Structure 1
Amino acid sequence: MNSISQRETAKPNMGNHRQETLEEYFQNWLTRVRAGRLGSLPLLAGLLIIAIIFGIREPMFFGPRNFVNLLLQMAGITTIAIGVVFVLLIAEIDLSVGYVSGVGSVVMVLLLREEASNWSWPLAMGAALLTTTMIGLFQGYLITKFGIPSFVVTLAGLLAWSGIVLIMTTQYSNIGTISMQDDVILGIANSYLTPT
């Protein structure tokens, strides 16, 4: 028998693979749970218990206004979390993502101040995105070129970028709030689409 026919016979027959039914999936899942492989079940159970407790204590908790409020409050964090998912999928971690986005926000606001050189909102937003991209490239370069663990690089980045945000905000304001009057950016930050 030659090597080609050996490879052909070694291939599994993919045509006979049967798709698992929903009932079989749940039976297999129940078997795994009984064997002690709980996976994310404790997290889901804890979340459900918390939701039930809050729902009992506050009748408006399951109301539509609360869900709209939660969606509005989590929009920014969820957007950042979507990017972090890709980092986690390659078994790395980014601890500095919050302050990197903070640096981008402060750069944009500083460029949109009335005292600044009258940047338009697309240019200021582009400058903020360019700044955060360069920070990500710098940290990624340290991780890939020198083999420094991403935990160490991004932890150091978290400390450094939080300091830079503090310096940038206190340089232009005594109270840490920088005033900016761009209608488009204020609309993006404060408005939401109504159902009508």
Structure 2
Amino acid sequence: MASSDTTVSFVLGQTVLAGEALDAARKTASSNRRELVIAAKAGCKDSFAELVRLHTDSILRFFYARLRNLADAEDLAQETFLLAWRNIDQCRQDSSFSAWLFTIALNQLRTRMRRKKILLPLTNILRCTKPGPNQSVEGKEENQQLWDIAEKHLSSDQYTAMLLRYRAELSTMEIAEAMNKTHSHVKVLLHRARIKLHSRIERTGYCEAAAE
């Protein structure tokens, strides 16, 4: 089996572009989204509809991973986008629309959980990570085991930060905005989460760590 560092880096980063390609793609996407936000704030419903299209998949997977109920996930996604449209003027043009949208999503989720008197669960969040099209069966199993370990051994904040980083593919600055934390705090959360995963895998291996 590959070293834990190599395996963790591959599994966590499999849906994220690397290096300069990632930077270029993000700059282009950010520029396009900024233009859509400006138009939406001016009342253009078509521009907002495009923003909804761009974010529906990640928002739905985020809610479903937490709630494990598709109907509830769809309801919360709809409520999130409705709130975003009604409050689009509050989205700053110097800010990330994705981070602003996930802030609304997190608040909606917490409200739903409080209403049902359910503690925000650390269950199955990262299991919805979509495998790459060429990923082998063994790779998918390693992916599942890695997120099982994360589910059991990371703190709530570490887990949420990992979700937003590797599932929603937000930047660390966007995560800080979404979680209402400082940029340095988010970087520490992610760094400690990776160290904890590396340590757990080095000590016990995938199967043993996931079964603990």
Q: TM-score, normalised by structure 2?
A: 0.30
Q: TM-score, normalised by structure 1?
A: 0.31
Higher relative contact order (CA 8 A, sep 6+): 2
| Rg larger in structure | 1
